[in-house]
Chains A and B, each alone.
Chain A
Amino acid sequence: MSKPKPKVRKEVISMSKQGLEERIQNFNEVAFGYAEEEAVAEAERCLQCKKAPCVKACPVEVDIPEFIRLIKEHRFDEAIKKVKEKNSLPAICGRVCPQEEQCQADCTMGKIGDPISVGRLERFVADWERERGYDVPQKSASTGKRVAIVGAGPAGLTVAADLTKLGHEVVVFEALNKPGGVLVYGIPEFRLPKAIVAAEAEYIEKLGVTIKTNAVIGKLYTVEELLESFDAVFVGTGAGLPRFMRIPGENLCGIYSANEFLIRVNLMKAYKFPEYDTPVWVGKKVVVIGGGNSAMDSARSALRLGADEVWVVYRRSRKEMPTRMEEVENAEEEGIKFKFLSNPVRYFGDERSWVKGIECIAMELGEPDESGRRRPIPIKGSEFIIDVDTVVVAIGNTANPLIQQTTEGLEVTKWGTIVVDEETGKTSKEGVYAGGDIVSGVATVISAMGAGKRAARAIHEYLMNKR
């Protein structure tokens, strides 16, 4: 006897957001997240298909159909445990992963309607757990092995969590005053509340990991020195060095790197100045140069800090922007304007050496370059001027160089990134592994976590075979 098949809802359950008028005046999180009944309704849409293309596309291999099934059955506690078997930072990933390019890209449901919103469901169970207090899993028996992790960003924290669960003693060295790396200094509060990063880092500490902040490796200790008291070292120092265009006038007052702007606002909480001591200055008209996530984050932050008008100037067209489209939509909705196919040539200052104008040149797109995107080419004689009070240069970051400069025998690429074996994260130096942006150059949180996961597996194997 077969039961009649219930009709499956094709449209995704939408997630409520802060009202537009309100949200551009505060730094609170824009999206509210699912309520219980919304999460269950979204979970009910999952077809539980056998081939599970979502799992194959997840860099950290979360058993997605299974945790969604548990949500459907209101077994939230088991659902989050299922997620955490593979992902120690679910509240973060649920918010900042580009799911549309990964787990949701080939979703079977997506072929007949909207793909299942895996990210929102992940966020839901992670938040559900955090509000109730973390359940810390049992640790394996101690192996007596010690691992040092350099950098408490997404890669480092993932390695730390995986290795401590296997019984190794793990110490994470973080140069900044808080753990999280780009999650605390780069991504703004309105996309990823810092309390959530702190809570997930705290969870990793509860697993048994020691996080030592204000510890800059390469200065305080070299990797060589760490190897004297640790059996292995993982380097996850990220891509934190800002790029400038090296054009005339770039050192005028009022011109920030995206890193400076975002570190002030996010890590130092300059949006709460003078309650917090670190200031940030934003004029009436702000121009952000670049088309990545940092550009969108800077533009949306500038708006919230009181700018009347915020422009994003990008040298290619909308299609080539490296940012998530969701972020462009959010930015546009909030009133950010875009000037595509334009590139700054030089900056002008006033008598006090504050920036007041940008000379730009129009661009056209030529043949695809090595990134596969069409190369922008300046159009002769097309120069034009934009008046401006504040400029944020968000054209990307390069690898942090300190470890490479202070570690002998570490093979490095011409871009300054560390050379590793893709599958294991093994570097050219015995006992030293690396992963995340320090290897790939600027990429995503989840790809760094995926690299961390692979490295953790390899480090474990290395430690267990080491005499």
Chain B
Amino acid sequence: MLSEIWKNRLEFYPFLSMYLFWFLGSFVNSLKVQNRPGIVALGLITIPSLTLITIAAIKTYKELLLSGDTNE
């Protein structure tokens, strides 16, 4: 599975960019925000968006498997 994703990594770049952006821009920075526990809990609000992005990434993987095109 991982090797197939790696071979077709370009297909996953948009999702990767969003995960990294969320992780570096929001999650890591939220840990720097001191004495404001509410701000970390506020991260729960991004769950619907992240879930949809994850579904789209999984669908992309399934489409690749179906098309049999696992080479770049």
A and B interact: no
Chain A residues with a Cβ under 8 A of chain B: none
Chain B residues with a Cβ under 8 A of chain A: none
